[in-house]
Structure 1
Amino acid sequence: MIRQHRFLISQRQYAVKLDTLSATVDEYEGRFDLRGSVEAVWYRRKGATTRACLGTLRLWGHGLTGPVDPADPQVVLAADLDGRYGGDCHGRWDGERYWGAQAPDTITGHLEVLRPMLADYPSLPSGFEGWWRF
């Protein structure tokens, strides 16, 4: 992934919660495969509507030429990761409608992050570090 300091919605960037990153690295014939995940938030636009999204970002790195320390989130994120699938959205808020979980407590938790995130667009929510793109 590539760390960027300026937010551009066209770049499909993510902000991540570093303390939630988990990863494993396997070696096979001198190459390394990384699998992991991290909680993330991101913005997407459909038509003229900006949406705040919350979910899980899957981290995949296949055939890496060097080892990656899975205990260091910055090193994992800086690896050559495959981001073709993007984030797995668990909740989305567009300012009028919520899409996502059905459990009331989960909805409340999501909206506590998504409402201020959308209101302060394009600021980073508290506890997240960004901006990262594949």
Structure 2
Amino acid sequence: MIRENRFLISHKGYAVDLATFSGTQKDRGDRISFGGSINAVWFRRSRGTLRACIGTLPLWSHYLPARLNLSDVTTVLSAELDGRYGGKCHGRWDGTRYWGSQIPELAASHIELLRPMLAAYPAIPPGYDGWWRFDNHA
């Protein structure tokens, strides 16, 4: 992944909660297989409407050349990870409607984060690190 200094919606960037990272790796012949995840927020535009999203970002690669230092999250994020499936959205706010969890407390916590996030577009919400994007040429 690549960390960018500014947000461009066309780059499909993610702001991540570094404290939520988890991952495992194992030998795969002369390469390393890695799988993990991290909580993230992001903006997307659909049919002309800007949306703030919250969810999980799957992190994986089947063929890394060397083991990653799993205690250094930014180094892990900087590896050549596959992002073809993007983030798994758990909640979304478009300024009028919420889509996501049907658990009232979880929906309320999503809206509490997403409403000011959308209002402050394209700022990174407090507690998140960004903007990270997958290298589409990897």
AA paired with 1:115? R
Deviation of residue 62 (structure 1)? 1.3
Compute the RMSD of aligned alpha carbons: 0.7
Deviation of residue 130 (structure 1)? 0.2
Deviation of residue 29 (structure 1)? 1.5
Deviation of residue 56 (structure 1)? 0.1
Gaps of 5+ in 2: none
- Structure 1 runs (4+) deviating above 3 angstroms are none
User: In structure 2, what is the Cα distance between the partners aligned to 1:20 and 1:53?
Assistant: 17
AA paired with 2:3? R
Aligned residues: 134
- Pair 1:124-2:127 in alignment: no
User: In structure 1, what is the Cα distance between the partners aligned to 2:83 and 2:5?
Assistant: 19
SS at match of 1:121: coil
Q: Which has the higher mean CA deviation after the structures are superposed, 91-100 or 63-72? A: 63-72
TM-score using structure 2 length: 0.95
SS at match of 1:58: strand
- Pair 1:48-2:51 in alignment: no
Gaps of 5+ in 1: none
Deviation of residue 103 (structure 1)? 0.7
Q: Which has the higher mean CA deviation after the structures are superposed, 24-33 or 34-43? A: 24-33
Deviation of residue 84 (structure 1)? 0.3
User: In structure 2, what is the Cα distance between the partners aligned to 1:70 and 1:32?
Assistant: 13
Identity, in percent, stands at: 56
